[in-house]
Amino acid sequence: MGPKDAKILIIDDEAEVRDSITLLFKSQSFKNTQAAKDAKTGLEKMQQEDFDLVIVDLMMPVVSGHHVLKEMKRLKTKTGVIVYSAIGLPEVFGQDLSKSYKGLVFLSKTVTPSVLVEHVKDALHKPAYTL
């Protein structure tokens, strides 16, 4: 299986962010992309099937992306993770996440699309992106 066949899950509460990432990835030949509108749906999808990479937002209503990270860590999943949020820092509701998730990539939504795509390519074969 080549990197272009990788299964990628996008978790973001904004429909347009999910659709835009999906189209961006498709334009880069990553065609096996799924999306979830909140943390709960994302975790359900992860229970149903295996993904190679999860791209998750942090600030989401009701349940934050931090919950997804906690669950993935608890389940010792080998799935790669990129946190893609507006703030772009290891911080959610004033809580510092850098100690709990050392080395995890926190990307800001201001990074250019090519930077996001480069991280996706790296994440698919580098263990540094796993929790």
105 binds other proteins (CB under 8 A): no
b/e per residue, 52-71, with b = 16+ CB within 10 A? Answer: bbbbbbbebeeebbbbbbbb
Binding mask 47-66 for other proteins (x = CB under 8 A): ------------xxxx-x--
Give the integer Cα–Cα distance in Å for 114 and 89: 19
Residue 8: its H or E element: strand 8-11
* Closer of 16 and 49 to other proteins (Cβ): 16
17 binds other proteins (CB under 8 A): yes
Which residue ranges make up the site for other proteins (CB under 8 A)?
Answer: 13-17, 19-21, 23-24, 26-29, 59-62, 64, 86-87, 93, 108-110, 112-114, 116
